[in-house]
């Protein structure tokens, strides 16, 4: 069974892990949340600098915890797409350098493939095919997985990802960054039915609506209008802004949209298993609604372990182990890319570097 040193620096989390198959031997993450919270979101230049500072210590930490030096692993892997280019370069250059120094294969990993693999760090998955709802700060997608490395996107967001919408609405409500945990905390005890908010849909050219795609821009606008109207009334009445009810109503409608369209997609595709991964998969309301809906529709459901929902290197390591076991590796001159469709992930292992 392959053992891989994996590195992740695609956004604002520096991470390293040593993984053997689906077993995490050591994992470490250095968060930059507090620093970026001052600006209300990720500042790419700051993120890149912090990765440079943190990654060597994280590698040393996981090698120490696992008792395995870099020379003892079978391969080195790093996220190479998609993400912030400057941030991606830190793990990519570090990974390729270590692989060269120790004469190991290098694997460039697609960040979303890592998220898809994260569920394997918990309960064993049933045989494919199955449907994955991948919902994070940068991505909201419905992905059909037919076999390891064989993916097809069936649904997506046409504007903000769900996690991005959480961040922007949290800023609107004065709740801070990151928005997901802030809104979840504020929504506790709130009335999720107090405000009627829209479930954005995507029109089809011939009429009707796309059954599986998402849009959160109209929901953000509706929240802005509600808040502005309440603030105007507040000037007259002096009543405090009902932040808990606003947060709960927003969280509820996002969760309902994600669950309804995911279950419909699974049913229409004839799939009996639905998998939830990504940073927003940590949201309690989303998990609760998904569990209840899957129970009613007799769908199996799986969710990534809470510790591996947000960006981490363990998920990158699991994806790398699967690729290594399939007999592939990346070219040493493979670079990084800000964007790359998931269905192009296999091209990261071509003899001629994709980018």
Here the CATH number for the domain that contains residue 320 is 3.30.420.40
Element (H, E) at 226: helix 217-237
**25 located within any domain:** yes
**133: in domain:** yes
Tell me whether strands 273-277 and 300-303 are parallel, antiparallel or unpaired. parallel
Sign of CA dihedral 177, 180, 185, 187: positive
- Which residues are 258's β-sheet partners? none
The pair of three-digit structure tokens given for residue 162, joined into one six-digit string = 């769900």
Show the tokens assigned to 71: 């020379």
Cβ within 8 Å of residue 232, ≥6 positions away: none
Same domain, 144 and 290: yes
Do residues 313 and 7 make contact, with C-beta atoms less than 8 angstroms apart?
A: yes
Same domain, 163 and 215: yes
Both 112 and 132 in one domain: the answer is: no
Q: Are residues 167 and 274 in the same domain?
A: yes
Domains in the chain, number: 2
Give the predicted TM-score (pTM) of the model.
0.93
d(C-alpha 260, C-alpha 342), whole Å: 23
Residues 51 and 169 in one domain: no
The pLDDT tens digits of the residues spanning 313-350 come to 999 999 999 999 999 999 999 999 999 999 999 999 99
Distance CA 226, CA 118 (A): 37
Domain check: are 206 and 241 in the same one?
yes
Residue 355 within any structural domain of the chain: no
pLDDT score of 262: 98
Q: Do 164 and 69 have their domain in common? A: no
Exposure string (b/e) for 131-166, b if CB count within 10 Å is 16 or more?
Answer: bbbbbbbbbbbbbbbeebbebebbbbbebbbbbbbb
Are 169 and 275 part of one and the same domain? yes
Quick one: pLDDT at residue 73?
98
pLDDT of residue 305: 94
pLDDT given for residue 117 in this prediction: 94
7 assigned to some structural domain: yes
**Domain of 157?**
127-303
**What 3-state class would DSSP assign to 341?**
coil
Task: Report if residue 255 sits inside a domain.
Answer: yes
Which residue in 314, 247, 315 sits closest to 283, CA to CA?
247
Please list the ranges in the chain whose pLDDT falls under 70.
none
On whether both 145 and 273 belong to a single domain, the answer is: yes
Q: Strand pairing of 140-147 and 130-135? A: antiparallel
């Amino acid at each position: 069974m392959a053992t891989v040193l994996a590195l992740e620096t695609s956004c604002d989390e520096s991470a390293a892990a040593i993984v053997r198959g689906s077993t995490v031997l050591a994992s470490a993450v250095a968060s930059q949340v507090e620093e970026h919270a001052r600006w209300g979101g990720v500042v790419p230049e700051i993120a890149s600098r912090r990765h440079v500072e943190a990654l060597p210590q994280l590698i040393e930490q996981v090698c120490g915890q696992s008792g395995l030096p870099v020379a003892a692993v079978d391969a080195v892997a790093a996220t190479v797409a998609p993400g912030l280019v400057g941030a991606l370069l830190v793990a990519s250059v570090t990974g390729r350098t270590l692989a060269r120094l120790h004469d190991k294969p290098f694997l460039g990993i697609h960040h979303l493939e890592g998220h898809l693999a994260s569920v394997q760090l918990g309960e064993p998955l049933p045989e494919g095919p199955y449907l994955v709802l991948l919902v994070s700060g940068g991505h909201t997608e419905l992905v059909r997985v037919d076999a390891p490395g064989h993916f097809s996107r069936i649904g997506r967001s046409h504007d903000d990802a769900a996690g991005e919408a959480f961040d922007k609405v949290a800023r609107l409500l004065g709740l801070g960054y990151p928005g997901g945990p802030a809104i979840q905390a504020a929504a506790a005890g709130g009335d999720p039915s107090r405000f009627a908010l829209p479930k954005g849909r995507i029109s089809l050219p011939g009429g009707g609506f796309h059954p599986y795609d998402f849009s959160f821009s109209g929901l953000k606008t509706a929240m802005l209008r509600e808040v502005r109207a309440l603030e105007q009334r507040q000037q007259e009445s002096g009543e405090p802004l009902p932040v808990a009810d606003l947060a709960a109503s927003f969280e509820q409608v996002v969760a309902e949209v994600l669950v309804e369209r995911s279950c419909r997609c699974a049913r229409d595709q004839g799939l009996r298993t639905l998998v939830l991964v990504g940073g927003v998969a940590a949201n309690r309301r989303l998990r609760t609604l998904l569990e209840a809906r899957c129970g009613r529709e007799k769908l199996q459901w799986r969710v990534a372990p809470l510790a591996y929902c947000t960006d981490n290197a363990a998920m990158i390591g699991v994806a790398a182990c699967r690729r290594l076991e399939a007999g592939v590796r990346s070219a040493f001159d493979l670079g990084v890319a800000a964007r790359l469709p998931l269905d192009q992930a296999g091209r990261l292992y071509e003899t001629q570097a994709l980018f």
